[in-house]
Amino acid sequence: MEQTTFKVKGSAAEPYELTFIKDGSSLTALCTCPAGEFGNVCKHRTNILAGKTNSIVSDNEDEVAKVCELLKGSDVEEALNELRAVEKAGDSPVAAKRKLARAMNS
Q: Name 27's bridge partners.
A: 22
* Cα angle for residues 57, 61, 64 (degrees, 5° grid): 125
pLDDT for residue 106 is more than 90: no
Up-side HSE of residue 105: CA atoms within 13 Å toward CB?
Answer: 16
**pLDDT more than 70, % of the chain:** 100
Give the residue-averaged pLDDT of 46-60.
95
Q: How many CB atoms lie within 10 A of CB 61?
A: 14
**pLDDT more than 90, % of the chain:** 87
Phi and psi at 58, nearest 5°, equal: -80, 170
Alpha helix segments (H runs only) across 23-63: 34-37, 43-49
Q: Can you give the pTM of this predicted structure?
A: 0.89
Q: Is 11 helix (H, G, I), strand (E, B) or coil?
A: coil
pLDDT value of position 47: 95
pLDDT value of position 35: 94
Alpha helix segments (H runs only) across the chain: 34-37, 43-49, 64-71, 75-89, 94-105
Give 96's pLDDT tier (boundaries 50, 70, 90). Answer: very high
